[in-house]
Amino acid sequence: MRNIVLFCSAGMSTSVMVRKMEEAAKAMNYDCKVAAYSVSEATTYGPDADIILLGPQIRFNLNKVRGLLPGKIVEVIDMRAYGMLDGKSVINFVKQKLGD
């Protein structure tokens, strides 16, 4: 099971995206857990993640989070996919980045 962690500014704005990603993953038979937290909790929840995704509104934190979690895959969710709540596109992006 893959552990996908999303970070945003307060941990709330990504909650709908988490649901959409879970729905898409289920439809694709992709075994994963998706959770969202505030970026301030990166060092708490990031170490156990297979991949970390940042909401586009906090993309300026990309290098900071990568620095806090060396060796982890840290990416920014595509703004269009995020805005359209396109969970399928985000799951496909995750699969591509993880080589699944």
Active-site residue identified among 4, 5, 8, 94: 8
**Cα torsion through 57, 62, 68, 74, rounded to 10:** 100
- Nearest to 8, CA basis, from 60, 58, 62, 46: 58
Exposure string of 22-38, with b = 16+ CB inside 10 Å and e = fewer, is bebbeeeebebebbbbb
- pTM, full prediction: 0.94
Q: What is the pLDDT of residues 21-46, one digit of tens each?
A: 999 999 999 999 999 999 999 999 99
Average pLDDT in the chain: 95
Q: What is the pLDDT of residues 57-66, one digit of tens each?
A: 999 999 999 9
Q: Which domains does the chain have, with CATH numbers?
A: 2-98 (3.40.50.2300)
DSSP 52-76: EEE-GGGGGGHHHHHHHSTTSEEEE
8 carries an active-site annotation: yes
